[in-house]
Amino acid sequence: MRKYKGPNILAVFSAQDLLLKGIHELKRSGYENFLVYSPVPHHDIEHALHRPRSPVRVFTLIGGLTGFLTGWALTIGSAMHYPLIVGGKPIISIPPFGVLAYILTILFGALATMMGFLLNARLPQLRLTPNYDERLSSDHYGIQVFGDEESLKKWARVLKKTGAIDVRKFAPTHRHSVNVVTSHVLLFFVGVFVSTITLASCTNDNGEIGNYRYRTDMHEQPSFKKQEDPRPPVKGTVPVSGYELPIKDSLTAVRLVNPVRLSSRNADTAKVLYETYCLPCHGLGAKGDGPVAAKFQTPPDLTLPRYRRAPDGYLYYVMRHGHLIMPPYYEGVKSRERWLIVQHLRTLQRLQ
Amino acid sequence: MSFNLSYTKTDLDLTQTLNRPKKWYYVALTLLGLGVAWGAGSWLHQILTGIGVAGKNNPVGWYLYITTFVFWVGIAHSGTLISAILFLFRVKWRAAVYRSAEAVTVFGLATAGLFPLLHMGRVWVFYWTLPYPQMGGLFPNFRSPLVWDVFAITTYLTVSSIFFLTGMVPDVAIVRDKAKGWRKKLYGFLAQGWQGTDQQWKHYTQAYVFLAALATPLVISVHSIVSWDFAMSIVPGWHTTIFAPYFVAGAIHSGLAMVILILIPMRNAFRLHEYITDHHLESLAKFLLFTSTVVGFAYVIELFIAWYSHNPWEQAIFLYRAFGDYWWAFWSLFLCNLAIPQLFWFKRLRRSTLALVLVSIAVTIGMFFERLVIITTSLAHEYIPFMWGLPDLTFTEAGIVVGSFSWFFFLFLIFAKTLPVVSMWEVKEQLDPPISGGERVGGRR
């Protein structure tokens, strides 16, 4: 026979001592399949019933421990996954992570206690026991005895004798025995759980579910991919160092006059610039014997007479736009610096 | 509790609070609704325009928002103290007042919880504060007290809501059994099928003890963590070890004042004099006296340490607090939080409703000033004189602060008329149960 299910009688009492008498009658004959209704919990009723202790405390313990472990796992795990030193603290900083473990112990413990209470007390149930009496929550007591026809008849008589003011009989049909709402609620949570798992398994590291991007983190910016160039400046943007006029071709270039005169002050700058940008291929003395040239392609000896005769503007033009395999130094080297290098080249040619 | 109460009378008296409200109730609700609307409008303006309209600027980037946040978190604390700690200690006078105190906790946190959102520049990405892997699996920085704060406040709100609602279930069942029509359906849903069987009570009482035990450490820890938002930094006036206990004491101090302020009008409006007696209020007043001495001790110790430490910055900030731009707030917090509650050494004042209300108002104002002084002065006068400056109070910021107060009382008014404000089953638990043959009227056990 199932416990607390099936045909039953409800005996209503108006006083607690009469209720206790009724409980004693049932207990004395060893009959356990009954429920007691009371407006408040009372030690006398608990003693008389002598039922096993509630297992809710186990839920609390397990929930608390789960929270404690979750706290450490979340903090240490995430710190290990993305090791980033912040504020000079160790990657695994025990004291601050302990704060999180402590908080989650309480949070999980409380949620598990709630769960334990609901599961054990068979709540929520959106339909009351059909035999429920509305006086029971306020100032009356009740004993609901479950069992077969014969024992119910007997107990109705006994409880009436002990002082029940009212004894009601109820035989549930099939419809009553199934708690539809509870199963729907359970189904809802199972659905939420399954869909969360499904969604979580579809996400990737870029914060996408399929093609849909749910995350708007800081890297969500108009610069498209990690390997792409930064965005070009707006058309017509002028650098703070000044704007270089375009040169049509080398014939225009040869007419340009070197605006820079070499002096004792800028000679060193010119030398450093040459040795930074040109030396690797052209060599220390511009003879085309640089360390890169030895393994790559030898540039011409710039001290040859035809380069001595070349106008400053031509050398400047080659530096700016490149020539054959020589790359253009339009962006790396500024206009004035190029003119300085031309002057240094002239010095090297004169030294020859 | 008075001696001529019975189970029947208790239920009748305490469900009467849910009857159709009088006119003043709707007037108050409308006024508070307007306050909430003002706050909401200010927030909308701030979201659409930018955080600049809140007057946030260097050096005082934390001003009234954080002050109000700390204030409301503090208000929340006494509720849990009364409902959980006093429950574990089996303090009898708790039963009549704890439901309202707990409502103060839940609504205080519901107000405080808005503030992290309110002072976000881009509130639509609020979920960045949650622990989920952002780009490349980067989690929030769990070494930061601000992240602890998110966890602590969320946990506190969750646990206190669970505790609040769990304590409510048997009472809602009583209301359900007395109600008719659509109200029966509504309260039937809220009661979730509670019938008061011995099985349900068995699990219920144990769950309730454990929830109380779990909520108890939160009274200490949540405001400690809030205080670490400040104490973990190196700003003079904030960087002290006393901050955690100092904030917790202050929180309970302000919370008790708020509970008294809520209980007295409620008792008069609902005629609950038999349940919330002068004895209850006197107990709260004694408690307030105790916390005021603890808070006063913390104030004095702070000053002492500034002198004793020989730390020039610490000394400078305390001189600035006492004699600088905020001298009025500084001295009024000594007056309101320490001096005025000392009146409760006199029994006559502890039993006077008027004195209780006036002192509680003083404490509420004083505790708001305390947070204002701590937060603003330290930021206004940090190490480098070049960086000194004062904040401006803007219309938007004031609107949100007014809105937060309205929101809190708005929620409480709705609660007072929809749910039982005094726990019926716990009041009844302290009465003698009905006995057969004659004496049906119980008294205090």
SS (H, E, C) A223-268: CCCCCCCCCCCCCCCCCCCCCCCCCCCHHHHCCCCCCCCCCCCCHH
| pLDDT value for A344 | 92
Q: Which of B131, B141, B207 sits opposite A113 (nearest CB)?
A: B207
Q: Inter-axis angle of helices A16-28 and A149-162, to 10 degrees?
A: 140
Asked whether the predicted pLDDT for residue A195 surpasses 80, the reply is yes
> Rounded to whole angstroms, how far apart are CA atoms B416 and B418?
6
Asked whether the predicted pLDDT for residue B329 surpasses 70, the reply is yes
Least confident of A195-209, A323-337, B227-241: A195-209
Q: A264 CA to chain B: closest CA distance, Å?
A: 44
Asked whether the predicted pLDDT for residue B119 surpasses 60, the reply is yes
Q: Which of A37, A64, A138 sits opposite B7 (nearest CB)?
A: A138
Looking at beta carbons, which residues of chain B come within 8 Å of A135? Answer: 177
Cross-strand pairs, A170: A8
Q: B201 CA to chain A: closest CA distance, Å?
A: 6
Question: Looking at residues B97-119, what average pLDDT do you find?
Answer: 93
Among A21, A49, A62, A139, pick the best mutation site for testing chain B contact (most B Cβ within 10 A).
A139
| pLDDT value for A178 | 42
> Rounded to whole angstroms, how far apart are CA atoms B77 and B82?
9
| pLDDT value for B323 | 94
Instruction: Please answer yes or no on whether B11 and A134 come within 8 Å at the CB atom.
Output: no
Instruction: Please answer yes or no on whether B158 and A82 come within 8 Å at the CB atom.
Output: no
Looking at beta carbons, which residues of chain B come within 8 Å of A127? Answer: 193
Q: Is the dihedral of CA B337, B339, B345, B348 positive or negative?
A: negative
Q: A85 CA to chain B: closest CA distance, Å?
A: 10
Over the Cα atoms of chain A, what is R_g?
46
Question: Looking at residues A180-196, what average pLDDT do you find?
Answer: 77
| pLDDT value for B328 | 94
Q: Closest residue of A to B14, CA-based?
A: A138
Asked whether the predicted pLDDT for residue A59 surpasses 60, the reply is yes
- pTM, 2 dp: 0.78
pLDDT tens-digit map of B270-297:
999 989 999 999 999 999 999 999 999 9
Least confident of A61-65, A171-175, A276-280, B125-129: A171-175
> Is the bond into B116 cis (omega within 30 degrees of 0)?
no
Asked whether the predicted pLDDT for residue A264 surpasses 90, the reply is no
Looking at beta carbons, which residues of chain A come within 8 Å of B166? Answer: 114, 117
Q: Is A8 on the interface with B (CB under 8 A)?
A: no
Question: Looking at residues B300-311, what average pLDDT do you find?
Answer: 93
Among B8, B13, B130, B135, pick the best mutation site for testing chain A contact (most A Cβ within 10 A).
B135
Q: Which of B7, B197, B429 sits opposite A139 (nearest CB)?
A: B7
> Rounded to whole angstroms, how far apart are CA atoms A207 and A191?
23
Question: Looking at residues B368-391, what average pLDDT do you find?
Answer: 91
Asked whether the predicted pLDDT for residue B443 surpasses 50, the reply is no
Instruction: Please answer yes or no on whether A138 and B177 come within 8 Å at the CB atom.
Output: yes
Looking at beta carbons, which residues of chain A come within 8 Å of B152? Answer: 103
> Rounded to whole angstroms, how far apart are CA atoms A221 and A227?
14
Q: Is A53 on the interface with B (CB under 8 A)?
A: yes
Looking at beta carbons, which residues of chain B come within 8 Å of A138? Answer: 7-8, 11, 174, 177-178
Question: Looking at residues B82-96, what average pLDDT do you find?
Answer: 88
Asked whether the predicted pLDDT for residue B365 surpasses 60, the reply is yes
Asked whether the predicted pLDDT for residue B174 surpasses 50, the reply is yes
Q: Which of B125, B151, B214 sits opposite A109 (nearest CB)?
A: B214
Q: Closest residue of A to B148, CA-based?
A: A100
Instruction: Please answer yes or no on whether A137 and B196 come within 8 Å at the CB atom.
Output: yes
Instruction: Please answer yes or no on whether B135 and A114 come within 8 Å at the CB atom.
Output: no
Looking at beta carbons, which residues of chain B come within 8 Å of A37? Answer: 195-198
Among B142, B153, B157, B227, pick the best mutation site for testing chain A contact (most A Cβ within 10 A).
B142
Mean pLDDT of chain B: 90
Q: Closest residue of A to B232, CA-based?
A: A96
Q: What Cα–Cα distance (Å) separates residue A92 from each residue in A78, A83, A89, A200, A290? A: 10, 9, 8, 27, 51
Q: Which of A45, A110, A124 sits opposite B193 (nearest CB)?
A: A124
Instruction: Please answer yes or no on whether B142 and A129 come within 8 Å at the CB atom.
Output: no
Q: Which of A40, A46, A54 sits opposite B425 (nearest CB)?
A: A40
Instruction: Please answer yes or no on whether A57 and B210 come within 8 Å at the CB atom.
Output: yes
Instruction: Please answer yes or no on whether B198 and A49 come within 8 Å at the CB atom.
Output: yes
Q: What Cα–Cα distance (Å) separates residue B257 from each residue in B60, B78, B111, B217? A: 29, 9, 17, 21
Looking at beta carbons, which residues of chain B come within 8 Å of A79? Answer: 139, 142
Asked whether the predicted pLDDT for residue B383 surpasses 60, the reply is yes
Most confident range (mean pLDDT) of A121-135, A180-194, B81-95, B360-374 is: B360-374
Q: Inter-axis angle of helices B94-112 and B64-80, to 10 degrees?
A: 160
Q: Is A298 on the interface with B (CB under 8 A)?
A: no
Q: Is A54 on the interface with B (CB under 8 A)?
A: yes
pLDDT tens-digit map of A80-111:
988 888 888 899 999 999 999 999 999 999 99
Looking at beta carbons, which residues of chain A come within 8 Å of B207? Answer: 54, 56, 113-114, 116-117
Residue B211 in tokens? 């929830």
> Rounded to whole angstroms, how far apart are CA atoms B86 and B99?
13
A341 vs B185, more confident: A341
Return the number of CB contacts < 8 Å for A and B.
216
pLDDT band at A334 (very low <50, low <70, confident <90, very high): confident
Q: Which of A17, A109, A136 sits opposite B436 (nearest CB)?
A: A17
Cross-strand pairs, A13: A141
| pLDDT value for A220 | 62
Helix (H) or strand (E) holding A213: strand A212-213
Mean pLDDT of chain A: 85
Q: What Cα–Cα distance (Å) separates residue B133 from each residue in A72, B137, B163, B288? A: 16, 4, 31, 45
Looking at chain A from residue 158 to 217, which residues have their Cβ under 8 Å from any Cβ of chain B?
163, 205, 207, 215-217
- CB contact at 8 A, B145 and B229: yes
Question: Looking at residues B236-247, what average pLDDT do you find?
Answer: 92
| pLDDT value for A179 | 47
pLDDT band at A210 (very low <50, low <70, confident <90, very high): confident
Asked whether the predicted pLDDT for residue A231 surpasses 80, the reply is no
Most confident range (mean pLDDT) of A37-41, A228-232, B59-63 is: A37-41
Among A113, A170, A209, pick the best mutation site for testing chain B contact (most B Cβ within 10 A).
A113
Asked whether the predicted pLDDT for residue B9 surpasses 50, the reply is yes
Instruction: Please answer yes or no on whether A216 and B162 come within 8 Å at the CB atom.
Output: no
- CB contact at 8 A, B240 and B232: no
Residue A317 in tokens? 């033009």
Q: Closest residue of A to B139, CA-based?
A: A78
| Interface TM-score (ipTM) > 0.85 | yes
Instruction: Please answer yes or no on whether B134 and A35 come within 8 Å at the CB atom.
Output: no
Looking at beta carbons, which residues of chain B come within 8 Å of A39? Answer: 7, 170, 174, 196, 425, 428
Instruction: Please answer yes or no on whether A100 and B166 come within 8 Å at the CB atom.
Output: no
Least confident of A101-110, A340-349, B2-11: B2-11
pLDDT band at B396 (very low <50, low <70, confident <90, very high): very high
Asked whether the predicted pLDDT for residue A234 surpasses 80, the reply is yes
Instruction: Please answer yes or no on whether A139 and B200 come within 8 Å at the CB atom.
Output: no
Q: Which of B159, B173, B426 sits opposite A137 (nearest CB)?
A: B173
* Identity of residue B243: F
Least confident of A71-75, B90-94, B197-201, B300-304: B90-94
Asked whether the predicted pLDDT for residue A212 surpasses 90, the reply is no
3-state secondary structure of A10: strand
Secondary structure of chain B in HEC code, one letter for each residue: CCCCCCHHHHHHHHHHHHCCCCHHHHHHHHHHHHHHHHHHHHHHHHHHHCHHHHCCCCCCCCCHHHHHHHHHHHHHHHHHHHHHHHHHCCCCCHHHHHHHHHHHHHHHHHHHCHHHHHCCCCHHHHHHHCCCCEHHHECCCCCCHHHHHHHHHHHHHHHHHHHHHHHHHHHHHHHHHHCCCHHHHHHHHHHCCCCCEHHHHHHHHHHHHHHHHHHHHHHHHHHHHHHHHHHCCCCCCCCCCCHHHHHHHHHHHHHHHHHHHHHHHHHHHHCCCCCCCHHHHHHHHHHHHHHHHHHHHHHHHHHHHHHHCCCHHHHHHHHHHHHCCCHHHHHHHHHHHHHHHHHHHCHHHHCCHHHHHHHHHHHHHHHHHHHHHHHHHHHHCCCCHHHCCCCCCCHHHHHHHHHHHHHHHHHHHHHHHHCCCCCHHHHHHCECCCCCCCCCCCCEC
